Amino acid sequence: MKIFHLPDLGEGLAEAEIREWYVKVGDEVKVDQPLASMETAKAAVDVPSPYAGKIAELHGKVNDIIKTGAPLVTFDTGEGIVDKGSVVGKLETSEKKWDEGEVIIGSAKASSGNVKAMPAARVLAKQMNVDLSLVTPTGPQGLITPDDVKKFISQQAPTVSLPGETEALHGIRRVMAQAMAQSHLDIVPVTIVDDADITDLPPGTDVTVRILKAMVAAARAEPALNAWFDGKKLERKLWEEVNIGMAVDAPEGLLVPVIKQVEKRSDEELRQLIDKYKKSASDRSIAPADMQGATLMLSNFGTIIGRYATPILLPPMVAILGCGRSRETVMPRQGQMVIGRLLPLSLTVDHRAVTGGEAARFLRAVIQHLQGK
């Protein structure tokens, strides 16, 4: 017998959700044959078999959450031994003290340095002032997971019961909920809004492409917003290339494909990539690599409705531009009242890394480019 543990799928997450099993108990499988589709970081990833043999046990059902490093499949390979060395990636334990400080939520005060916990769990515990020695572990090898910390926090607060039937969040919606909660904990957001006068844009202008080009121009004018920020180390990295993550409203939730090196793309290339990512996001065929590496974000919610918003940032990025629904309005021009078209813009930045002046100059550069100035 050999036990295959869920590997690190390269998404930086401590868990994945089973979306579909491709095999069942008793099946004979070959090396690299897909075993299951796992939901990680807003993408479905097929997990291949590391062994050839017969499936002896599946450690989970569809929609179950499997921790990284936990058993996924047991194989009957005819070797008569149990292999516990198939974990891919690293899980930190007490040999490395991630946090030497003391935390005080709970009924006692104790050092959390010698408690076995995943790094993400330690970060969350530190942010929420939780004593890890009071948290019950459920992870592999007795590790405390982020969910264990969240469960402990929820047990310290009054519980709220939802009326009627409820459903658990799965897949993209579950990952989105976790990402938004983490953003709320990590980011110090501030939003600035204004309108761009796009009355004089030539007929047939691809406004989305124009906005992408405007963001590139703004990143050149104010590089501080085309950056990543590490709030723990208080370090930032300014990027020369402009990789824009575009929020796409897919049937199963929000996906963010990334258009790489926008500054080098022609208008035609950008339109092709936009259409490609919309389609692949809709049918869930988008590759995980196509949703990584964003340095700026765009939320074009105005394609549905709405003028202004407070877009949510995803660390380590420090800026996201929201575009509302354009509208015709009466405006003064050279002493006369004319009918023009305005595009509402909402820019959210992480105020830990971006000053108000830098945010204002970035938004001004976006508007000037859209207005052809």
Phi, psi of 124 (to 5 degrees): -65, -40
Q: Report phi then psi at 257, rounded to 5.
A: -70, 155
Thinking of the domain 102-156, which architecture would CATH place it in?
Answer: Irregular (4.10)
Same fold, 2-76 and 178-370: no
How confident is the prediction along the chain (373 residues), in pLDDT tens digits per residue? Answer: 889 998 877 645 677 888 899 999 999 999 999 999 888 755 678 899 999 999 999 999 998 888 888 899 999 887 654 444 443 333 333 333 333 333 333 333 334 457 888 877 888 888 778 888 889 898 887 889 888 888 887 777 555 567 778 888 777 788 778 788 888 888 999 999 999 999 999 989 999 999 999 999 999 999 999 999 998 889 999 999 999 999 888 777 778 899 999 999 999 999 999 999 988 888 878 888 888 999 999 999 988 999 999 999 989 999 999 999 999 999 998 899 999 999 999 999 999 999 999 999 999 999 999 998 7
205 neighbors 372 (Cβ within 8 angstroms): no
User: Cβ(236)–Cβ(230) under 8 Å?
Assistant: yes
Q: How long is the chain?
A: 373
Which region, left, alpha or beta, applies to residue 78 given φ > 0 means left and ψ of -120 to 50 means alpha? left
Say how far apart CA 369 and CA 209 lie, in whole Å: 12
Q: What DSSP designation does 291 have? A: G
CA distances from residue 21 to 29, 58, 61 in whole angstroms, order as listed:
13, 9, 8
C-alpha to C-alpha distances, 43 to 68, 96, 137, nearest whole angstrom = 16, 31, 27
Q: Are 70 and 84 a contacting pair, CB within 8 Å? A: no
- CATH class label, 178-370: alpha beta
pTM value is 0.66
Domain ranges of the chain: 2-76, 102-156, 178-370
- From the list 138, 131, 88, 84, the residue with the least C-alpha distance to 112 is 131
Predicted pLDDT at 90:
36
Of 217, 253, 198, the residue nearest 364 (C-alpha):
217
> What fold, for 2-76?
OB fold (Dihydrolipoamide Acetyltransferase, E2P) (2.40.50)
Task: Show the tokens assigned to 350.
Answer: 């992480």
Tell me the β-bridge partners of 258. Answer: 245
Q: What is the pLDDT of residue 44?
A: 73
Q: Which of 234, 352, 212 is nearest to 294 (CA)?
A: 212
In this structure, the number of other CB atoms found within 10 A of the CB of residue 130 comes to: 25
Q: Which residues contact 247 (CB under 8 A, 6 or more apart)?
A: 254, 255, 256, 297, 298, 299, 300, 301
Mention every residue, 6+ apart, whose C-beta is less than 8 A from residue 366. Answer: 196, 211, 214, 215, 217, 218, 321, 345, 347
Q: Is residue 105 a contact partner of residue 128, using CB atoms and an 8 Å limit?
A: yes
Residues 16 and 35 sit within 8 Å (Cβ to Cβ):
no
Helix, strand, or coil (residue 217):
helix
